């Protein structure tokens, strides 16, 4: 086994990482969304946002792995941050650097690894967004680009105010965040021939409540219902003041429609039970992505369906 190296800029790199004040912080949905999406669209059991500290790799988000950190010496990510590009090991048992690594010979039995460095604007590599599988595999050019794009999103989350891509009233992606991640997901779904549908739930009258006392309670019911009924790998956003969108992969239009209708009906029932339904009207529409359709075209088609919904 070859241990993960120290980098020439190690002191400055560690100082940059520590100044982010993110090490040992609790899990956050904005990072968990990224790893869950990565695990789903790449069809790997493990996806991590891994940060390389002085003597450990610490996971800000870990989809499919219960550990929160491992020793840096045995880490794959410690090797990945040596590189500017994606670092790929197709079969760790056949690689002289890793064949006898404890993470290969024991849990989680790594065979395939792909890690894209997360780089601070000052040039220091802080960690990776990485994919792990327990069987050998390769990474196509489309998948490489998608991993790079998702890593760019994780990179921004490390250094930017989270509210730039997130609706601060619900915790969902805002329109900008939704379009950014959605446009990363669709090419992979096309390559894998996975069905994709979009759903819109429009709540007319919500904007009029914005400065009234029931507003916070109404939003809480909406957010809680979405979080309970949608899968963690589904992409949910507050597209505008009254409109909530979801992008659902690997599910047919009928399944997406059933989920959206259930969410709409549950929200309506909860609002009624809490005497908060007055002045609010809920509508639902769903459209399925067709070949070569862009995300914007899919959303436009969904909006057309919404406009003809009785």
User: pLDDT averaged over the chain?
Assistant: 92
> Lowest-confidence range among 69-78, 104-113, 176-185?
176-185
Structure tokens at 283: 């509508």
Every domain range in the chain assigned CATH 3.30.450.40? 10-160
- Which pLDDT score, from 0 to 100, does residue 162 have? 40
pLDDT at residue 160 is higher than 80: no
Note the pLDDT of residue 1.
Answer: 86
- Per-residue pLDDT band for 21 (boundaries 50, 70, 90) equals confident
CA–CA gap between residue 37 and residue 234 (Å, rounded): 8
Superfamily of domain 175-307: Reverse transcriptase/Diguanylate cyclase domain (3.30.70.270)
Cβ-contact 177, 165 below 8 angstroms: yes
pLDDT of 185: 85
Question: Is 163 a residue whose pLDDT tops 80?
Answer: no
13, two tokens: 């790199």
* 102-128 pLDDT, tens digit each: 999 999 999 999 999 999 888 899 999
Residue range(s) occupied by CATH 3.30.70.270 in the chain: 175-307
Q: E-assigned strands of the chain?
A: 46-52, 56-63, 69-71, 87-89, 112-119, 125-133, 196-204, 235-238, 243-249, 281-288
Q: Which residue has the higher pLDDT, 116 or 173?
A: 116
d(CA 300, CA 174): 17
Quick one: pLDDT at residue 164?
64
- The neighbour count for residue 92, using CB atoms within 10 Å, is 22
Element holding 2 (H helix, E strand): none
Alpha-carbon gap, residue 194 to 295, rounded angstroms? 15
CA-closest candidate to residue 230, choices 149, 283, 271, 172? 172
**Over the stretch 22-53, which tens digit does the pLDDT of each residue have?**
999 999 888 998 999 999 989 999 999 999 99
pLDDT of residue 129: 98
Neighbours of 107 (CB within 10 A): 12
- Rounded CA-CA distance 246/259 in Å is 10
The pLDDT tens digits for 265-303 are: 999 999 999 999 999 999 999 999 998 899 999 999 999
Q: Decide: helix, strand or coil at residue 56.
A: strand
In CATH terms, the fold of domain 10-160 is: Beta-Lactamase (3.30.450)
Q: Which of 30-39, 99-108, 138-147, 166-175 is predicted with the least confidence, judged by mean pLDDT?
A: 166-175
Say which residue, 45 or 192, is predicted with more confidence: 45
Give the pLDDT mean for 207-221: 92
Tokens (6 digits) for 11: 């002191």
Alpha-carbon distances, residue 181 vs 144, 147, 178, 284 (angstroms): 15, 11, 6, 23
């Amino acid at each position: 086994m070859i241990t993960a190296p120290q980098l020439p800029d190690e002191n400055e790199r560690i100082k940059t990482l520590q100044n982010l004040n993110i090490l040992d912080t609790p899990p956050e949905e904005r990072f968990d969304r990224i790893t869950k999406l990565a695990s789903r669209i790449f069809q790997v059991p493990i996806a991590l946002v891994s940060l390389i500290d002085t003597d450990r790799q610490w996971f800000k988000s870990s989809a499919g792995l219960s550990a929160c950190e491992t020793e840096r010496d045995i880490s794959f990510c410690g090797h990945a941050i040596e590189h500017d590009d994606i670092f790929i090991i197709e079969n760790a048992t056949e690689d002289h650097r890793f064949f006898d690594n404890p993470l290969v010979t024991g849990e989680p039995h790594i065979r395939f690894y792909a890690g894209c460095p997360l780089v601070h604007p000052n040039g220091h590599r802080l960690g990776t967004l990485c994919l792990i599988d327990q069987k050998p595999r390769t990474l196509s050019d489309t998948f490489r680009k998608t991993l790079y794009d998702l890593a760019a999103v994780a990179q921004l989350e490390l250094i930017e105010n989270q509210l730039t891509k997130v609706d601060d009233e619900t915790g969902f992606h805002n329109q900008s965040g939704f379009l950014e991640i959605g446009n990363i997901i669709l090419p992979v779904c096309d390559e894998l021939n996975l069905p994709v549908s979009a759903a819109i739930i429009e709540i007319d009258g919500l904007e009029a409540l914005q400065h009234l006392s029931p507003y916070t309670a109404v939003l809480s019911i909406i957010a809680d219902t979405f979080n309970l009924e949608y899968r963690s790998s589904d992409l949910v956003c507050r597209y505008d003041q009254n409109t909530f969108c979801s992008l659902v992969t690997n599910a047919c239009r009928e399944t997406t429609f059933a989920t959206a209708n259930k969410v709409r009906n549950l929200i309506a029932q909860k609002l009624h039970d809490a005497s908060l339904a007055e002045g609010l009207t809920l509508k639902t529409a769903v459209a399925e992505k067709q070949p070569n359709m862009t995300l914007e075209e899919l959303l436009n088609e969904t909006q057309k369906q919404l406009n003809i919904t009785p």
